[in-house]
Amino acid sequence: MSSAPKTRTVSQIALPPQRESLAAAVEECLQRTATALFQTGTAGKDDLIHTMHLVRQSNFHGQPADLLDTLARHLHTDEDQVAAAAASYGERISATLSPNLHVVPFAGRLIAPSTFYENHPDVQRLGAALMAAVIYAEDSDAIGTASINPIAAIILGEEIAAAVARRVNVRPIITSVMLDHQSWTQVIRKHFQR
């Protein structure tokens, strides 16, 4: 008997549903994030409606925005307060997820996986739109995503799993983590030259 793993066709690999478009993924992220913020009592309906409108406007003008950062900027003026508030919102959302995502502050210092992005340009475009990044890619087997917004990191991970499985017939192990505000800004700038 051979101990070699049996190959499976793509149809045998469980794939998450791939979003129909980049805009659909961004809107799903916005809706799920707003719902989580409201359900956790983190933000009220009026503040969420206003900040969702700001995010949609920004996205429409080609300047991707994250709801957590936008909400924090709407409610606070001091940059330190914005950073603390956005991180707090992410932690509250993460507490509702299973498994919870944890903050990995050193992730901002990891080198951008340019080869992975070159092989998967749609993933890079989606990451830029969600403001979530691939923080490591060990071939196609193990891939890490990160954002200040845990829902953005998860959606990016789901789309990567589907894209990689369809391309190379491997279901990768996806690890999603959260970033603190400073690391997140550095990662977004480094990965997407903003």
pTM across the whole model: 0.88
CATH 3.30.300 assigned to 101-192: yes
Instruction: Answer yes or no: are the C-beta atoms of 94 and 150 closer than 8 Å.
Output: yes
Q: How confident is the model at residue 171 (pLDDT cuts 50, 70, 90)?
A: confident
What is the pLDDT confidence band of residue 16, given thresholds at 50, 70 and 90?
Answer: low
Question: What is the Cα–Cα distance from 2 to 104, expressed in whole angstroms?
Answer: 40
Neighbours of 116 (CB within 10 A): 19
Report the 10 Å Cβ neighbour count for 13.
Answer: 15
Residue with token string 């954002």: 147
CB 68 within 8 A of CB 47: no
Tell me the residue type at 176. S
* Tens of pLDDT, residues 113-165: 888 899 889 999 999 999 999 999 987 789 999 999 999 999 999 999 988 88
Q: How far apart are CA 90 and CA 103, in angstroms?
A: 9
Please state, in angstroms and rounded to a whole number, the distance separating the CA atoms of residues 174 and 172: 6
Percent with pLDDT over 70 in the chain: 91
Strand positions, DSSP E, 30-166: 133-138, 142-147
Structure tokens at 46: 């009026």
On whether the CB atoms of residues 108 and 186 are closer than 8 A, the answer is: yes
CA distance 31 to 9: 34
- pLDDT of amino acid 21: 83
Going from N- to C-terminal start, the domains of the chain cover 22-95, 101-192
pLDDT at residue 17, rounded to an integer:
56
